[in-house]
Structure 1
């Protein structure tokens, strides 16, 4: 898809019945120790899920980008140094296997709110990409803490979106606030989506619900990762 994003299509009869109605659904993806390595699958007991030898493989949450309704699921992987999912995706070959589960629940958001505001870093771009294809809004604002060439290469043209590219690693409230302050939220006809690093997402959520008096049910704040 772009230098920083690799698209992988998974197929298999076990996908029958998969359902993902919301743009920011997430599924849990379990990875083997090596790309072509065997992946031990869990089994259900009366006490819950049990992993072979008591060892749970590395897992990460991912956005289901597209599903064909029967046996083909598409995921986009953000490629970066040191990531379990990124390392697996970079080395994956046709026929490699993973395990996945979910989504456990969905928050279905109407597509036609007049004003829609999206704040994310690279980890949120696949969800925004899925959402963009279905939106019917008068105003769409995207504040992307992503390097502009990467964002443009991945998302393509966004002619009806007011986009601010802040640069990778720039998800900081002091950089975002001056861009958010001028956005006018029409009464009860808006939706705000905030995702990325957990502490910043919390600060932005507080900004909208406390300083801007936004309705909490019109603000969706989801931490996609946490700074350690």
Structure 2
């Protein structure tokens, strides 16, 4: 299947202004060598790494939940990075190298920098790398591959997320219209994660949940919201099973983008 990758900035902006529903807009995909230029602990369980370098000139990211793949070397240190195929995509070696997806929290084209926020947890390849990464360390990133763009013109938005999707919500709050109306329901594993920085917006209500030992209450809390009149949009992202009930809840009620970022017991979930 051929993907149209021309003028992604203009096409995403047009959809933000006057589109309907969610559309996929492809970006020219590249692979880049970057270095850690800063690190900041956001909460006891989350660290922000700022990656930079001249390779980030011309980086494409126009939607708040855009992601890159971090490409890790083999256990023996061998690098098997993808290479551009000359058609705006990448050729990947087989077997595939170990990769993990992370949301682009910020892109500064003038400084050639991006921010990635990592939830720290035991046993994670990317989490272990981020926890140990020092300024000057290098890493390969691939993408973003494109946007799942949704308009900025809905009357109201609902965000149902866990900690892994907080960077997408934070970026969306900074980039959305000044008069936006939204509910953000965020479920975290530890009360300290409620310190994750989200921009204050007058029309946005934020509800923090701490995940109980008996399981997630995220979908239940979202289902109990009293939505205002008008067209609404649901963005749900996080642990795949926790957000799954929202697919049925949203059907016929509001437009939606629902993405499982990860799944308990599964490494490198693709959704």
Say yes or no: does 1:163 pair with 2:206: yes
In structure 2, how many angstroms separate the alpha carbons of the residues matched to 1:119 and 1:205? Answer: 12
| Structure 1 residue 15: Cα displacement | 1.4
Secondary structure at the aligned position of 1:17 is classed as coil
User: Counterpart in 2 of 1:61?
Assistant: 101
Q: Tell me the SS of whatever aligns to 1:116.
A: strand
Whether the aligned pair in 2 keeps the contact of 1:39 and 1:98 (CA below 8 Å) is no
Superposed displacement of residue 86, structure 1: 0.7
Bigger share in strand: 2
Q: Does 1:176 align with 2:219?
A: yes
The structure 2 residue matched to 1:194, chosen from 213, 236, 258, is: 236
Q: Is the 8 A contact 1:148 1:165 kept in 2?
A: no
In structure 2, the gaps of 5 or more residues are 1-41, 266-271
Cα offset, 1:38, TM superposition: 6.3
Pick closer, same or farther for the CA change 1:10–1:61 going to 2, 3 Å: same
**Which deviates further from its counterpart, 7-16 or 154-163?**
154-163
Give yes or no for the alignment of 1:226 onto 2:269.
Answer: no
Counterpart contact for 2:188–2:194, Cα < 8 Å: no
Structure 2 equivalent of residue 27 of structure 1 = 68
Aligned partner of 2:250 among 208, 216, 222? 208
Question: Which contiguous aligned blocks of 4+ residues in structure 1 show a shift greater than 6 angstroms?
Answer: none
Q: Which residue of 2 aligns with 1:14?
A: 55
Structure 1, gaps ≥5 residues long = none
Alignment of 1:47-58 (within 5 A): 49-51=91-93, 54-58=94-98
Mapped pair 1:146 → 2:185: no
- TM-score normalised per structure 1: 0.81
- Cα distance change on mapping 1:170 and 1:91 into 2, 3 Å: same
The corresponding residue for 1:81 is 122
Once the two structures are superposed, residues 105-157 of structure 1 have per-residue CA deviations (whole angstroms, 9 ceiling, x without a partner) of 11233334321110011110111111111233553211111156434311256
Change (3 A) 1:83 1:9: same
* TM-score of the superposed pair, with normalisation by structure 2: 0.70
User: Quick check: which one's helix share is greater?
Assistant: 1
Query: Distance in 1 between the 2:234 and 2:213 partners?
Result: 19
Q: 1:92 to 1:98 in 2, by over 3 A?
A: same
Q: State how many pairs are aligned.
A: 217
